[in-house]
Amino acid sequence: GQQLNQSPQSMFIQEGEDVSMNCTSSSIFNTWLWYKQDPGEGPVLLIALYKAGELTSNGRLTAQFGITRKDSFLNISASIPSDVGIYFCAGQTQGGSEKLVFGKGTKLTVNP
């Protein structure tokens, strides 16, 4: 089945540092979504991308939809302790179901 390769698997950073994570796929997606999940909670939508090459920001978060439609990245600038959590990328393919295919997640730890 379809798979998203998300990296890195985990990151340990100092407060104030910038963070970058990405997802790649062998399949083309027409929508990329980035979610954050806190322990015991549901994923929360951070950014949605709908066009190849699109660059979208949400506060300190910036995400891009790769020009090939097979990748996306998420950047977090000036990290703060509340950025701790697991970040997931998700893609939706063209046609058919609107189901999301998820990456395995990037676990972010921010040291104050």
Partner 1 sequence: DSGVTQTPKHLITATGQRVTLRCSPRSGDLSVYWYQQSLDQGLQFLIQYYNGEERAKGNILERFSAQQFPDLHSELNLSSLELGDSALYFCASSAKRSSYNEQFFGPGTRLTVL
Give the closest residue to 38 by CA, choosing from 103, 89, 86. 86
Quick check: 92 binds partner 1 (CB under 8 A)? yes
Amino acid code (one letter) for 8:
P
Quick check: 102 binds partner 1 (CB under 8 A)? yes
Q: Which is nearer to partner 1, 66 or 105 (CB)?
A: 105
Quick check: 13 binds partner 1 (CB under 8 A)? no
Q: Which is nearer to partner 1, 64 or 79 (CB)?
A: 64
Judged by DSSP in three states, 82 sits in helix
Min CB(96)–partner 1 separation in Å:
7
| Structure token pair of residue 87 | 């970040």
Q: What are phi and psi of 82, to 5 degrees?
A: -75, -5
DSSP conformation class of 59:
T
Residues in the interface with partner 1 (CB under 8 A) total 26
* Cβ neighbours around 45 below 10 Å, total: 11
Q: Which of 64, 66, 71, 105 binds partner 1 (CB under 8 A)?
A: 105
Binding site for partner 1 (CB under 8 A): 1, 30-31, 33, 35, 40-45, 48, 50, 88, 90, 92, 96-105
